[in-house]
Amino acid sequence: MLLITGLGNPGAKYERNRHNIGFMAVERIAADHGFGPWRSKFQGLVSEGRLGGQKVLLLKPATFMNRSGQAVGEALRFYKLGPEALIVIHDELDLAPGKLRLKQGGGHAGHNGLRSIHAHVGPDYTRLRLGIGHPGHKDRVASYVLSDFAKADQGWLDDLLRGISEGADKLAAGDGPGFLNAVALSRAPARKPAPKPTRPADKATADPETSREDSRTAMQKLIDKFR
């Protein structure tokens, strides 16, 4: 079994925030892959289903970002899972908007949700980092991540969420390169079909004069031949 946790803050006022892109990603996976309805459990909302041959529990902690580890830790303990069975999807300031990186283990880099998860389950889990860009100065970070995505962001945001969903089977299977390739392919512009080769016009079409029916008699043809 696998636990995929999207990070964010609960409540309608936060649902389109940049900080909630993790929630958006697991919601898209649940909708596209026929997961069960969301229900309250483990201090959050969970939805169960399968990705490929893997049983998966999707989790959205309802503890607010800086206490995400409480919900994650409770879910892992209930199913007797270790951090190797955990994938956390979260926003990443240090990546350009629309970029993503898959990482195993490491530090929390000041992210409050990851900091809490580290405290409850340790650092040895997989993170899917989704770029939201940086506001340019650290004093603006809090207001930036807690503000909604701009209308201009909707194109790349929709592409990114669709790509994650389309590659989710690979992600659950532990095929990192396959997952990233699936995301890239889903976001690549559609190729225009190659133009069909033009068929050379047949002689009758190309040369109307020669296509006319020859109405001469045999004697006239013979006379014309020796002119």
The pLDDT tens digits of the residues spanning 31-85 come to 999 999 999 999 999 999 999 989 999 999 999 999 999 999 999 999 999 999 9
Higher pLDDT, 202 or 118: 118
Strands across the sheet with 100-104, in order? 39-41, 44-51, 54-61, 2-6, 86-92, 126-131, 100-104
Q: What pLDDT does 224 receive?
A: 61
Q: Name the token pair of 22.
A: 């993790």
The answer to whether residues 98 and 57 touch, using CB atoms and an 8 Å cutoff, is: no
Residue 225 has pLDDT above 60, yes or no: no
H helices of 14-152, where?
A: 21-32, 68-78, 112-121, 141-145
Per residue in 75-94, pLDDT (tens digit) is 999 999 999 999 999 999 99
Check residue 204 and give its pLDDT: 46
Mean pLDDT of 2-21: 97
In this prediction the pTM is 0.82
Which residue in 19, 33, 111, 118 is the catalytic one? 19
Superfamily in which the 2-187 domain is placed by CATH: Peptidyl-tRNA hydrolase (3.40.50.1470)
Distance CA 182, CA 123 (A): 27
> Mean of the pLDDT values across residues 141-166?
95
DSSP, res 39: E
Hunting for tokens 């909604």 — which residue is that? 148
Q: What is the Rg, in whole angstroms, of the alpha carbon atoms belonging to the chain?
A: 30
More confident call, 223 vs 182: 182
Q: Any idea where the domains of the chain sit in the sequence?
A: 2-187
DSSP β-bridge partners for residue 90: 129
List Cβ neighbours of 216 (8 Å cut-off, separation of 6 or more): 224
Segment among 1-5, 158-162, 209-213 with least mean pLDDT: 209-213
Is residue 191 scored above 90 in pLDDT? no
User: What number of other Cβ atoms are within 10 A of residue 224's Cβ?
Assistant: 9
How many Cα neighbours within 13 Å face the side chain of 79? Answer: 19
The pLDDT assigned to 192 comes to 58
25/27 Cα distance (integer angstroms): 5
Is the per-residue pLDDT at 175 higher than 80?
Answer: yes
For residue 128, what pLDDT band results from cuts at 50, 70 and 90?
Answer: very high
Spatial separation of the C-alpha atoms in residues 128 and 30, rounded to whole Å: 17
As a whole number of angstroms, the distance between CA 139 and CA 136 comes to 9
pLDDT averaged over every residue in the chain: 89
The whole-number pLDDT of residue 188 equals: 73
The yes-or-no answer on residue 137 being catalytic is no
| Res 165: pLDDT | 97
The predicted pLDDT at position 197 comes to 64
Residues in the chain: 227
Structure tokens at 121: 């389950």
DSSP 94-107: TS-TT-EEEEES--
User: 1: which 2 tokens?
Assistant: 């079994």
